[in-house]
Chains A and B, each alone.
Chain A
Amino acid sequence: MKIKFTFWKLVFLFLMAAGLYATVVRYTRGLGGATHLSDQFPWGIWIGFDVLCGVMLAAGGFTLTAAVHILNIKRMHSIVRPTVLTAFLGYLLVCVALMYDLGKPYNIWHPLIMRNPHSVMFEVAWCVMLYTTVLALEFSPIVLERFNLQKPLKVIRGVVIPLVICGVILSTLHQSSLGSLYLIVPEKLYPLWYSPLLPVFFFLSAIAVGLAMTIFESSMSAKHFGRQLELPILQELGRVLVVVLWVYAALRFEDLLNRGVLKLTLRPGYEMYLFWVEMALTLILPLTLLSQRNVRNSAGGLYLASVLVVLGFVTNRLNVSITGMEASAGTHYLPKWTELAVTGAIIAVGFALFGLAAKYLPIFPEEEHAAERGVQLTAQPVAAAVLHHAGD
Chain B
Amino acid sequence: MSKALLYDATICIGCKQCEVACAAQNKLPYNDAVAAEERQSDHKFTVVLTKSDKFMRRLCMNCQEPTCASVCPVGALEKTAAGPVTYDAGKCMGCRYCMVACPFGVPKYEWNKLAPKVRKCTMCPDRVASGKQTACAEICPTGATKFGDRDDLINEAQQRIRDNPGKYVPHIYGLTEVGGTSVLLLSSVPFELFGYRADLSQDPLPMLTFRVLSRIPDFVPLGGILLGGVWWITHRREEVAAAEGRGPKPAAGDHDGRKQ
Contact = CB atoms under 8 A, between A and B. Distances in A.
A108 B254 CA distance: 38
Contacts of A186: 201, 205, 208
B93 A110 contact: yes
B143 interface: no
B94 A184 contact: no
Contacts of A43: 96, 100
A107 B93 CA distance: 5
Contacts of A105: 93-94
Interface string B84-120: 0000000111111101110101001101111110000
Interface string A324-338: 010000000000000
Contacts of B213: 117-118, 120, 123, 180
Contact of A187 (B74, B92, B201): B201
A102 B74 contact: no
Contact of B75 (A77, A114, A168): A114
A269 interface: no
Contacts of A108: 93
Contacts of A375: 252-253
Contacts of A188: 100, 103
Nearest to A28: B114
Contact of A114 (B91, B94, B238, B256): B91
Given A116-B72, A123-B213, A165 B224 contact: yes
A172 B73 CA distance: 19
A49 to B, nearest CB: 16
A103 B101 contact: no
A103 B252 contact: no
B98 to A, nearest CB: 9
Contacts of B74: 107, 110-111, 114-116, 122
A168 B209 contact: no
A186 B178 CA distance: 11
Most buried by A among B71, B91, B252, B253: B253
A74 B254 contact: yes
Contacts of B111: 30-32, 37-39
A187 B252 CA distance: 55
Interface stretch (A15-23, A154-162, A293-301, A339-347): A154-162
A50 to B, nearest CB: 13
Nearest to A118: B70
Contacts of B219: 169, 172-173
A104 B116 contact: yes
A70 B227 contact: yes
* Chain A interface, DSSP helix/strand/loop, else mixed: helix
A72 B234 contact: yes
A187 B199 contact: yes
Contacts of B71: 118-121, 184
A72 to B, nearest CB: 4
A168 B235 CA distance: 18
Contact of A118 (B113, B206, B220, B248): B206
Given A114-B75, A114-B91, A374 B253 contact: yes
B72 A184 contact: no
A111 B112 contact: no
A373 B73 contact: no
A69 B200 contact: no
Contacts of B132: none
A183 B235 CA distance: 39
Given A165-B224, A199-B212, A77 B97 contact: no
B212 to A, nearest CB: 5
Interface residues of B, number: 63
B70 A123 contact: no
Interface residues of A, number: 69
Contact of B235 (A72, A110, A120, A185): A72
Interface string A213-252: 0000000000000000000000000000000000000000
A184 B75 contact: no
Interface string B186-216: 0000000000010111000110111011001
Contact of A120 (B76, B209, B230): B209
Contacts of B210: 118
A172 B91 contact: no
A184 B255 contact: no
A42 interface: yes
A204 interface: no
A177 B209 CA distance: 9
Contact of B208 (A157, A160, A173, A183): A183
A71 interface: yes
Given A39-B109, A102-B94, A108-B93, A70 B255 contact: no
Contact of B101 (A38, A165, A185): A185
Contacts of A123: 213, 216
Contacts of B101: 184-185
A324 to B, nearest CB: 12
Contacts of A29: 112
A172 B93 contact: no
B216 to A, nearest CB: 6
Nearest to B251: A374
A168 B114 CA distance: 38
Interface in A42-82: 42-43, 66, 69-72, 74, 77
Given A160-B257, A188-B100, 11 more contacts: A39-B99, A70-B230, A74-B253, A117-B213, A118-B70, A161-B231, A165-B227, A183-B208, A184-B101, A369-B255, A373-B255
13 contacts: A30-B112, A70-B234, A72-B231, A110-B73, A115-B75, A119-B70, A119-B209, A121-B73, A141-B256, A177-B212, A186-B208, A199-B212, A374-B249
